[in-house]
Structure 1
Amino acid sequence: MQRTIRRTLPIRMVALSLLPPPNSFAPKAPFGFGAFVIDPKCRGEASFALHMHGYGAGHDPAPMRDAIRALFDPDTMALICALSLPPAGEHAPAPFPEAYLDIVPRIGLRRNLFAPLPRHILASAGRVGGLDLPEIEPTPLARLGQIGCEAQAAWIFWLQAYCPVNHRRKLLASYLAWRQLQRARLQPASAIRKRS
């Protein structure tokens, strides 16, 4: 069973949602990233980890690049989500944003996948995983608050679009169980705050 999973799924995937730093000619603005790391295991299970970092306007972008590169090893495939406008008329493939080229590492044996997704498609994929994402463009600061959810929704979209049904069901069930555990871990802290 483990052999089948490894043939059809990447050994390790990092789904990235990026709010890239502004270029040197643009006004200073906040930036950051959400990274959802998926390590498939045997029997359709997986381990998950979520990394989110935001940086203030004028902050040096080098720590962001270093934090993203630390998530990659030679067996990692990146799924890079770039929010795009819905196509008007004919559908033309969106070019890879040049701002991302310096941020996403090109190491290892796996290719990186670029997923230009309109916000309403990302929000729809997020609802499958119980994520609440707006369908309209938020401000940069508001977006940093949800960038981890964007990364998870991009992975759910990829799972629905490209994974065989049996793997999709098992991985989605594994993911939903992980989400429940994450919520349970956060719940005691919020209960303590309400009492005081």
Structure 2
Amino acid sequence: MQRTIHRTMPTRMVALSLLPPPNPLAPKAPFGFGAFVIDPKCRGEASFALHIWGYGAGHDPAPMRDAIRALFDPETMALICAPSQSPAGEHAPAPFPDAYLDLVPRTGLRRNLFAPLPRHILASAGRVGGLDLPEVEPTPLARLGQIGCEAQAAWIFWLQAYCPVNCRRKLLAGYLAWRQLQRARALPVRT
């Protein structure tokens, strides 16, 4: 008897939070991205990596496109987070912003998921992972400071909404352990 294994997690996932560069006719503003890369392993384990890049007002957007494309291979699925400030009770699906089309590569047979998440839902998902995100729209410069947390919170939301309980528990436990290791590395060494 042959067993069929159903995979909930893609082979590789990149959760992106983007602050796209302004269009050429708009005033100059800072832009950047946060990318949380998840590479599932066997038995509900995964490796995690966080990439955060910010660019100053007037900077050429080509390096941002190149940095994002370097994170993708043919088996990568993108989860693109677009934080929004939707009115209470309104859950109309938002269209995919045109500014994102040029930034996120389409590779292999994997599809890209667009997640227009209201800020309060993103903040709630972030609290599950120990992340502190505001529920109100920050300034572009303040948003660059939290864009990596937005990407992680978007992945946590996806994990809670679309993964079976056993897989979710294992991946979330691995993620929380990874976060603790990252915090421990950031602490200054006292002699």
Asked if residue 78 in structure 1 is aligned to residue 43 in structure 2, the reply is no
Q: Which AA in structure 2 matches 1:132?
A: D
Shift of the 13–62 alpha-carbon distance from structure 1 to 2, 3 Å rule, reads same
CA distance in 2, matches of 1:109, 1:50: 24
Q: Distance in 2 between matches of 1:85 and 1:138?
A: 11
Q: Match of 1:140?
A: 140
> Aligned to 1:36, what secondary structure does the other structure show?
strand
- Paired AA for residue 23 in structure 1: N
| Pair 1:41 & 2:3 matched | no
Using the size of structure 2 for normalisation, the TM-score is 0.94
Change (3 A) 1:128 1:90: closer
Percent identity of paired positions between Structure 1 and Structure 2: 87
Change (3 A) 1:126 1:88: closer
The equivalent of 1:157 in structure 2 is 157
Q: Could you tell me how far apart the structure 1 residues matched to 2:51 and 2:90 are?
A: 36
Aligned residues between the structures:
188
Aligned partner of 1:148: which letter?
A: G
Partners in 2 of 1:87 and 1:165 — Cα distance? 31
1:59 Cα offset (Å): 0.1
Q: How far 1:88 moved relative to its partner?
A: 5.6
Deviation at 1:91, TM superposition (A): 3.3
Structure 1 SS opposite 2:82: strand
Q: Secondary structure at the match of 2:178?
A: helix
1:113 maps to: 113
RMSD of aligned Cα (Å): 1.4
Equivalent in the alignment of 2:19: 19
Deviations 1:26-56 (A, max 9, x none): 0000000000000000111100000000000
Match of 2:127 in 1: 127
- 1:163–1:30: structure 2 CA closer, same or farther, 3 Å change rule? same
The structure with the greater share of residues assigned to helix is 1
Shift of 1:111: 0.2
Per-residue deviation at 1:93? 1.3
**Partner letter of residue 68 of structure 1?**
I
CA distance in 1, matches of 2:79, 2:87: 21
Q: Which residue does the alignment assign to 1:94?
A: 94
Matches of 2:27 and 2:33, distance apart in 1: 19
Gaps (5+ residues) in structure 2? none
Q: What CA distance in whole angstroms lies between the structure 2 residues aligned with 1:17 and 1:91? A: 20
TM-score in terms of structure 1 length:
0.92
Alignment-mate amino acid for residue 179 of structure 2: R
Over 3 Å counting, the alpha-carbon distance change for 1:119 and 1:107 in structure 2 is same
Aligned to 1:172: 172
1:18 Cα offset (Å): 0.2
Matches of 1:85 and 1:111 in 2, distance apart? 26
State the one-letter code of the partner of 2:91: H
Q: Is the 8 A contact 2:159 2:168 kept in 1?
A: yes
- For 2:43 and 2:87, the matched residues in 1 are separated by 39
Alpha-carbon distance in 2 for matches of 1:175, 1:40: 11
